[in-house]
A and B are shown apart, each in its own frame.
Chain A
Amino acid sequence: MSLTLLNVIFAVVVAIAFAAGNAAYLVWAERRGAARIQRRPGPNINGPFGLLQPPLDGIKLMAKQLLIPFGADRILFIGAPVLAMYPAIMSFVTIPFSDAIVAHNINVGILMIFAFASTGSMSLIFAGWSSRNKYSMMSAVRAVSQAVAYEIPMLITTITVVMIAGSMDLMEIVNQQSASILHWNIFPLLGNSHNILMPVSFLIFFTCTLAETNRAPFDLGEAESELVAGFHTEYGSMGFGLFFMGEYANIVIGSCMTTILFLGGWSCPFGLFPGVWWFLLKLYLLIATFIWIRWTFPRTTIYGLLNLSWKILIPLSLANLLFTAGLIKVF
């Protein structure tokens, strides 16, 4: 009993530390990456390679006063940043980093992560509405339409993977891909899918992850050129910090899900030494791709964003679902 309790406390501490640490240092990675792409030095003064920048920024943000604008809804205004951070921390409970490193594996793990991820857009709504600022409000409306539009193709694509695996258990899905690199779900030839459209599924899923985490080129919710700073215009201090960290924690979750569903989780490409390091390698390569995409592509328009989802990704993912179901029926 006490051992279980210790396990629970350990898991909670590690989950929060991992989420917060990643969020803090991904900000640093993003600024360095942006600097490299724009051919300028990034934050490089504090510590070696500017590695002390995130804790210093944290101290600065925490030392500032939290201003609540006149006429704002106090409770929702303070609650919204908390809501931005919690889905990511909750999701770490069930994400398996290797066959041993998982806090609590439940047999509907995929569903749990998507359930909590879908509540994340509530934070944008509450932040945008409670700020009593028309830019925040417009940003919230955009964020909702975006979240609803991209959740559908994302879930449909996940259903195709679940149909192939025959399980919603994340451990089980990874175990089925663990034989070699050709058994990963992204590759159609070997493995248990034989589904020629799997690379398309991967592309749809990755695009939806970009959109769901409000990343460029889909960051219409915080388009600086149109909406000042979007839903967090009125936030300063650590309220803003939590929104910022929540974005990066969500990116980590999205990349974890992509790794598990399509890239074989902790399995090694050559069948050697499977373990948590392969998981982390794939995870950070995906996150680097996120940063790379952000500083390479310009922002789309809101119409382009919604058209991409409703007119291209949803029909494509539905066709993919039907095709996969047919393949499973035939073979």
Chain B
Amino acid sequence: MISSTPLTAGPALFSVDGLVGIIFLVMIAVTVIGGYIACNSQRLVRAVAGLIVCFVGVAGLYYFLNSPFVAMMQVLIYVGAVAVTISFAIMLAAPADQEKMSQSSILAGPLGFCTAALLAGGFSVLAIKTQWPVMDKINDGSVKKIGIQLLTNYSMVFELISIVLLIAILGALVIARVRREN
């Protein structure tokens, strides 16, 4: 998948590299559009739909990067489980016609814009200034290799992520308990 053409030259549109590039751009567009819908829609369920589009775009990027296993897990976990759970929570908690609440202060807009500009600028500088080495595939992305890596080199990270999930569950329980007692 990694083209040998230098980035400045740019492949022809209807060569294999060019078509691959178009697919890559489509995936990025899907991700960005999904994220935009998720942030800006007035209805919460539409925001969830946008989030799903965004997740599918990210899964496409993973597939593009030669790791179908991670792409499928992305769809299975984020679309099939996380998004379903989110919409479940929305349907149980919020009435259908509830509009997004707008009680943010005057400073929120400019401050948000500054933060976004800073982040975007920083990342662009980082992306342009860095010498990106063209890497070979580290491994074949198979389930076995990923499993071995997860339980040896990255076992600490793996366990820490599960602690984050545990804290999230405990937090939800605490909030629910307080509400119920009131």
Distance in angstroms between the alpha carbons of A157 and B68 in the assembled complex: 22
CB pair B45–A145 under 8 Å, yes or no, is: no
Contact of B49 among A76, A112, A118, A128 (CB under 8 A): A76
Interface residues of B in 21-80 (CB under 8 A from A): 43, 45-46, 49, 52, 68-69, 72-73, 75-76, 79-80
CB pair B88–A115 under 8 Å, yes or no, is: no
- A132 CB within 8 Å of chain B: yes
What's the nearest-Cβ distance from chain B to residue A4, in Å? Answer: 12
CB pair B81–A115 under 8 Å, yes or no, is: no
- A126 CB within 8 Å of chain B: yes
Contact of B45 among A71, A73, A168 (CB under 8 A): A73
Interface residues of A in 154-172 (CB under 8 A from B): 168
| Contact partners of A330 in chain B: CB under 8 A | none
Decide if the interface of chain A is mainly helix, strand, loop or mixed. helix
Distance in angstroms between the alpha carbons of A122 and B56 in the assembled complex: 13
| Contact partners of A44 in chain B: CB under 8 A | none
Decide if the interface of chain B is mainly helix, strand, loop or mixed. helix
CB pair A112–B96 under 8 Å, yes or no, is: no
CB pair A75–B91 under 8 Å, yes or no, is: no
CB pair A121–B84 under 8 Å, yes or no, is: yes
- A130 CB within 8 Å of chain B: yes
State the 8 A-B residue pairs at the shortest beta-carbon distance, nearest first: A118-B80, A115-B75, A115-B76, A111-B72, A115-B72, A144-B88, A119-B79, A125-B87
- B3 CB within 8 Å of chain A: no
Interface size of B by Cβ–Cβ distance < 8 Å?
Answer: 25
CB pair B49–A111 under 8 Å, yes or no, is: no
CB pair B73–A129 under 8 Å, yes or no, is: no
**Chain B interface (Cβ within 8 Å of chain A)?**
43, 45-46, 49, 52, 68-69, 72-73, 75-76, 79-81, 83-85, 87-88, 91-92, 96-97, 142-143
Q: Which one of A128, A129, A145 has the highest number of Cβ atoms from chain B below 10 Å of its Cβ? A: A129
CB pair B92–A148 under 8 Å, yes or no, is: no
| Contact partners of B72 in chain A: CB under 8 A | 108, 111-112, 115
What's the nearest-Cβ distance from chain B to residue A260, in Å? Answer: 17
Contact of B91 among A79, A118, A141 (CB under 8 A): A141
| Contact partners of B88 in chain A: CB under 8 A | 125, 141, 144-145, 148
Distance in angstroms between the alpha carbons of A117 and B72 in the assembled complex: 11
Interface size of A by Cβ–Cβ distance < 8 Å?
Answer: 33
| Contact partners of A132 in chain B: CB under 8 A | 96
Distance in angstroms between the alpha carbons of A163 and B162 in the assembled complex: 23
Given contacts A121-B84, A141-B92, contact A73 B143 (CB under 8 A): no
What's the nearest-Cβ distance from chain B to residue A85, in Å? Answer: 17
CB pair A76–B46 under 8 Å, yes or no, is: yes
CB pair B49–A126 under 8 Å, yes or no, is: yes
- A51 CB within 8 Å of chain B: no
| Contact partners of B75 in chain A: CB under 8 A | 115-116, 118-119
CB pair B85–A73 under 8 Å, yes or no, is: no
| Contact partners of B96 in chain A: CB under 8 A | 129, 132, 137
What's the nearest-Cβ distance from chain A to residue B48, in Å? Answer: 8
Distance in angstroms between the alpha carbons of A252 and B61 in the assembled complex: 30
- A147 CB within 8 Å of chain B: yes
Interface CB pairs A-B, < 8 A, 27: A71-B97, A73-B46, A76-B45, A76-B46, A76-B49, A106-B68, A107-B68, A108-B143, A115-B75, A118-B79, A119-B75, A122-B87, A125-B45, A125-B84, A128-B91, A129-B45, A130-B45, A132-B96, A141-B88, A141-B91, A145-B88, A147-B84, A148-B81, A148-B84, A148-B85, A148-B88, A151-B80
